[in-house]
A and B are shown apart, each in its own frame.
Chain A
Amino acid sequence: MAPPAQSHRSPSPSQPSGKGEVSDLKTQLRQLAGSRAPGTDDTKRDLFKKVISYMTIGIDVSSVFSEMVMCSATSDIVLKKMCYLYVGNYAKHNPDLALLTINFLQRDCKDEDPMIRGLALRSLCSLGVANLVEYLVGPLGNGLKDGNSYVRMVAAVGVLKLYHLSASTCLDADFPPLLKQLMLKDKDAQVVANCLTSLQEIWSLEASTSEEAARERETLLSKPVVYYFLNRMKEFSEWAQCIVLELVSKYVPMDTEEIFDIMNLLEDRLHHANGAVVLATIKVFLHMTLSMTDVHQQVYERIKAPLLTLVSSGSPEQSYAVLSHLHLLVMRAPYIFSSDYKHFYCQYNEPFYVKKLKLEMLTAVANESNTYEIVTELCEYVANVDIPMARESIRAVGKIALQQYDVNAIVDRLLQFLEMEKEHVTAETLVLVKDLLRKYPQWSHDCIAVVGNISSKNVQEPKAKAALIWMLGEYAQDMQDSPYILEGLVENWDEEDSAEVRLHLLTAVVKCFLRRAPETQKALGDALAAGVTDFHQDVHDRAFLYYRLLKYDVSVAERIVNPPKQAVSVFADTQSSEMKDRIFDEFNSLSVVYQKAQFLQPSYMFTDKEHRGPFAFSEELGNLSIGTEPSDAAVAAQRVEANDKDLLLGTSEKEEGHGYGSNGSAYSAPSYNASTTAGASQAHFDLVSIDQPSTVHPPVSFAIDDLLGLGMPSAPSSVPSTLQLNAKASIDANAFQQKWRQQPISLSQETSIDPRGVAGMMNPQALPQHMQGHSINCIASGGQAPKFKFFFFAQKEDGSSAYLVECIINSSSCKVQLKIKADEQATSQAFSELFQSALSKFGSA
């Protein structure tokens, strides 16, 4: 209950402001305190109710504390309960007054009525006042031995409360061993369950400092204990069953026989009406059979029906929770669910978050035999009046096409969408058609025939417009009107708000020019003229790049802007398989609903806010923790701070380029690639390649080689391949920071990291230590999963060059972005190789 003192809620006009009323209550209570007249209890009840109701709506009634305590001398259990509730709410913030209650609570703990003993003990333990713990030990000890199971049940949880107040008092009183005894012999199942939960919490918290506690925690998972619980399974309430099942899911059976025994014993739990029990049982089944492929598959078959039943019974909220788990299983083993696709059809009155899950499942289970029906169903949703739903459905159709089933028919359907003449449908479809063409260039003829008919005026959304423009440029040869449409678009340059569209327009015009020069010349001139005066840094820079390229050599421009492309074979998955496995490990938890594992990592969900950019860093090293061995606490604190500072930067991640001014590094901003599915570096070479150039400083020819990545050794051969680093190099943070600011980026690269290395990222010190072994020192580090940022420093053996590295690691995609600055530009490539080879060994060692 909210202690109103802290509440920010201002009472609404209909609610009493509280002050006058509270002092009235105070006087009335005082009058009643000593009274033994008949009917007193009824009056007290009314007054107590008022106090509690004020407390609920957020009025501070702590000032009547002593009066409440005085009135508590009563045999009326309803009054007692209200008093306990009140005391429990205010004691923590009024420790002095709480002392007043000890007397009557202790007395009640010895009451004849077990109900009163239990209630008093619970209240006593819930006071939450650390300096009163000495008063708890006696009553708790008696409570654990009480003849009544209700009192023992309360006492078992009471021990945990005491532990949180004062761990040492709890341990010194030897309560955990007492709980263990009780857990293994008490007749009452709820007492047993409470002992288990309390011990689990205490031993888990103690395990980090005490080996004994760690051992005790292990014994909970020992065969005798687990079997003891399994044998009493039916005695437990459904909620206690959930706890026991969670314990069992961590147990590692000796052999397959044991696995089958346990599964047979728990089989009927799958028919429980409580979804939490069923999911907990499923977790046991799935985890125990992980290494037995056949049985594991059978388990999937076995749990399908109960899960589907849970999804369709119960409230929408409950079925959402179950559906999220079904979603996880479908994603893991789509083939097992491919004949159940009709269960994933959306119902018109379902909330969007349910429909979205279902669409993903439909996409996943599509195969040769059901694709036609699934796509037909999806097409119905496309015509839906619900626009977000229509969009998601189009994307789903596109994804199925990218899975290579029945592409022919799907392309037809997609093209039909374009003929529906609904703006959102057209927009979404265009984006998809573009992706499809990148994978299946053979369909270009069919597609461009239809796409060519779309008036660009009807396409307003930047992503869609960019897709259309990309196609106009890419297929300029086959689309008759292409130069003229582009020309029209260039004419409206000033009205085009989206930089993404303008960037695409530039590239498309150049591509078109390279094929149909006479027709495009005017458009090209206009576009470049508009581009170089564009206020947007990237557009401006790209226009200049093209301008200079074309001036330098048209054939080089051709090779850069319009190289032969390979079709994309697989679009990268947005979620790594390692992440998926981890979510699977955390089956029956929030991780499944959020589709994010490990959210419990304090550095992640607990500080990462939705309104903050997922990752952002200022250039100010001062915000990062400095030094090679920062303490964990410092790192955590600094991370939060770094995040706060970066609110602005974070929100405009896409526009990141602005901040860097003219040092040329703007191109290392995330790619402007219209595709949301990453990994398109092949087909989008013309755009993506711009992400990788070195700066303007090296000679032009070198830059172009690098740009094209034509297979030449990208590092000039003059650099000795055996770059030696000074093992004792050092620099202080301020000097590093200054140097970092002054120097231009000499190399900017993207690479990937071993997933095993990523696993090591969980320990913030692991990577710096590893790199130090390779004579590369960490100057600063920070970040939160999935993005970590490091600054490294290294020095050439002879001291002639220092290397400064900014290294951003994305632990979910296993991608690494490197920015290297060097005194000797020429050796930066060699250093980069060295750095990458050191990095690649991380995790594998």
Chain B
Amino acid sequence: MISQFFVLSQRGDNIVFRDYRRDVQKGSAEIFFRKVKFWKEDGKEEAPPVFNLDGVNYFHVKVVGLLFVATTRTNLSPSLALELLQRIARAIKDYLGVLNEESMRKNFVLVYELLDEVIDFGYVQTTSTEVLKSYVFNEPIVIDAARLPTLGPAALFMQGNKRMPGTAVTKSVVANEPGGRKREEIFVDIIEKISVTFSSSGYVLTSEIDGTIQMKSYLSGNPEIRLALNDDLHIGRGSVPSFGYSRSSGTGAVILDDCNFHESVHMDSFDVDRTLSLVPPDGEFPVMNYRITQEFKPPFTINTLIEEAGSLKAEVILKIRAEFPSSVTANTILIEMPLPTYTTRVNFDLERGIVGQNADFKESQKKLEWNIKKIVGGSEHTLRAKLNFSQELHGNITKEAGPVSLTFTIPMYNPSRLQVKYLQIAKKSKTANPYRWVRYVTQANSYVARI
């Protein structure tokens, strides 16, 4: 059971604090914050999400810079506590539209209302936005969503994708829009986080896709929804017929290693026609999480060349190539590479006439950073960096530098080729067809090229 729940700002102020069992001292928020802040003297190591201090167990998750914390004295399931914290954050976001310190402060009474119903005497009652709706009476004070970081990966769609209504993902499930009526719409997001490790010779050592089908529904009357996925979708690597007749299409089957589903999902016809049916509850939730280790084409290849130029100098040439169709554009690409600790100065040579690129040497971390705003599919970019060292090179420079890591976002592209073929909403009335948004996005989780 949970003893206390609280949310702390980045500076350690209580935004909300709820004591359910009165068996943990009142100063716990401060004790917790101090411990987390000074976990190790050098400040380099992060505090783990679960720790015990003086007999009190502290659980915490970080959401948009806020610390969501629970305490207990019992030998609770850590998964339960951490999952709960994440869900509380999500429920609050569903109500406030935007989750951040300001919105929490403005709506703390509403948040208390939620907390009252989510946990009673330490036991979880419900975290369902839908169920909570009947208990919450405060009207959310919606803050201006523009340029605010939001909770969850849905925020990715905001960047450079004009086709999406920007306000939708930051809309409260309870607040009415200025017009006084709610817009009927539903969002289905296919979000894939990819991890790839390239060996120094450029071939793929490991690769994995961690995907989620995220749904956010603003439909009134809770109609049933049918979600059709690829016909050639297989679950479990052993389930693919070895005779390969399903691969005759040439594109190859989509094979999920494994997946799990939200409890509202019915799988009755999944085996027949790969269709999921569900009555989506209010709020944002993952319909399905999946994991793929089947090989896929990595969206970027990276080429690194290091040439020693005398004993105190070296040149690094980084080449990045976009391996996706030219109709797709990747956003906010960041390429990082640790350099030898004795590097003193770096001169960069960017491509001429290209805008939206910059390169920097982070002296304190001895790291090279190369930012590219946009990369169009099929294109290639090169960076030359001349390094100056304070001491003579000894041994192999490749042991002192690297690996090269990438972060990026690619909207409307997913390497697994998992698709939502159609999204059917069971009609209940003759009102206008609700808006349906099916969106894809790929994000780098750990994208590393060794040198």
Contacts and interface: CB of A to CB of B under 8 A. Distances in A.
Contacts of A246: 77
Contact of B446 (A309, A324, A348): A348
23 contacts: A7-B27, A56-B16, A57-B14, A77-B137, A81-B112, A115-B135, A122-B116, A271-B261, A273-B263, A276-B79, A278-B79, A279-B77, A316-B49, A321-B49, A348-B403, A349-B446, A419-B395, A421-B395, A590-B50, A590-B76, A592-B78, A594-B50, A594-B52
A82 B109 contact: yes
A312 B450 contact: no
A153 B17 contact: no
A318 B86 contact: yes
Given A317-B86, A321-B78, A421-B394, 9 more contacts: A2-B26, A56-B15, A58-B14, A278-B260, A324-B78, A385-B366, A588-B77, A593-B78, A594-B52
Given A122-B120, A239-B127, A2 B14 contact: yes
B445 interface: yes
Interface string B62-94: 100000000001111111101111100000000
B83 to A, nearest CB: 5
Interface in A697-715: none
Contact of A605 (B55, B59, B116, B260): B55
B121 interface: yes
A272 B52 contact: no
Contacts of B14: 2, 56-58
Interface in B393-451: 394-395, 399-400, 403, 405, 445-446, 448, 450
Contact of B61 (A237, A313, A315): A315
B210 interface: yes
Interface string B40-65: 00001110111011110101111000
A737 B45 CA distance: 46
B295 interface: no
Contacts of A324: 78
A272 B286 CA distance: 11
Contacts of B127: 239
A309 B75 CA distance: 25
A154 B119 CA distance: 11
A161 interface: yes
B252 interface: no
A1 B19 CA distance: 5
B52 A605 contact: yes
Contacts of B29: 2
Nearest to B403: A348
B15 A280 contact: no
A278 B366 CA distance: 43
A242 interface: yes
Interface of B: 1, 13-19, 22, 26-27, 29-30, 44-46, 48-50, 52-55, 57, 59-62, 73-80, 82-86, 108-109, 112-113, 116, 120-121, 123-128, 134-135, 137-138, 195, 197, 206, 208, 210, 212, 236, 257-263, 286, 288-291, 338, 341, 366, 394-395, 399-400, 403, 405, 445-446, 448, 450
Nearest to B59: A317
Q: Which 4 residue pairs across A and B have the least CB separation, nearest first?
A: A347-B446, A606-B55, A305-B258, A276-B80
A817 interface: no
A110 interface: no
A251 interface: no
Contacts of B113: 81
A37 to B, nearest CB: 22
A180 interface: no
Interface string A4-23: 00111100100000000000
A309 B137 contact: no
A610 interface: yes
A263 to B, nearest CB: 18
Interface string A587-612: 01111111000011000011101100
Contact residue range for chain A? 35 or more
B86 to A, nearest CB: 6
Interface in A307-325: 308-310, 312-318, 320-322, 324-325
Contacts of A586: 75
B289 A313 contact: yes
B30 A275 contact: no
Interface of A: 1-3, 6-9, 12, 49, 52-53, 56-58, 77-78, 81-82, 85, 89, 92, 115, 122, 126, 128, 153-154, 157, 160-161, 190, 194, 197, 237-239, 242-243, 246, 270-276, 278-280, 305-306, 308-310, 312-318, 320-322, 324-325, 342, 345, 347-353, 380, 383, 385, 388, 419-421, 586, 588-594, 599-600, 605-607, 609-610
Nearest to A118: B135
B129 to A, nearest CB: 13
Given A2-B19, A609-B54, A274 B258 contact: no
A235 to B, nearest CB: 11
B126 A237 contact: yes
A312 B376 CA distance: 29
B206 A342 contact: yes
A321 B50 CA distance: 8
Given A309-B258, A312-B291, A593-B78, A52 B83 contact: no
Given A1-B19, A128-B22, A190 B126 contact: yes
A324 B403 CA distance: 27
A52 B80 CA distance: 29
Contacts of B50: 320-321, 590, 593-594
Contacts of A592: 78
Contacts of B74: 600
Contacts of A306: 258, 260
B116 A81 contact: yes
B236 A305 contact: yes
Given A57-B13, A190-B126, A348-B448, A589 B112 contact: no
Contacts of A92: 22
A44 to B, nearest CB: 12
A599 B52 contact: yes
Nearest to B207: A342
Contacts of A591: 75
B45 A52 contact: no
A385 B338 contact: yes
Nearest to B394: A421
A420 B446 contact: no
Contacts of B126: 190, 237, 239
Contact of A273 (B48, B134, B260): B260
A320 B48 contact: yes
A651 to B, nearest CB: 16
B338 A590 contact: no
Contact of B52 (A49, A280, A380, A590): A590
Contacts of B394: 421
B210 A313 contact: yes
A533 to B, nearest CB: 35
A320 B122 CA distance: 23
Listed residue (A9, A157, A419, A590) with the most chain B CB atoms within 10 angstroms of its CB: A590
B123 A345 contact: no
Nearest to B111: A56
A322 B52 CA distance: 18
B261 A383 contact: no
B395 A7 contact: no
A157 B116 CA distance: 13
Nearest to B139: A78
Contacts of B109: 49, 52, 78, 82
Given A81-B137, A589-B76, A606-B55, A309 B17 contact: no
B17 A56 contact: yes
A197 to B, nearest CB: 5
Given A6-B26, A56-B14, A239-B127, A312 B208 contact: yes
B259 A271 contact: yes
B121 A279 contact: no
A153 B26 contact: no
Contacts of B446: 347-350
Given A237-B128, A275-B79, A588-B77, A7 B26 contact: yes
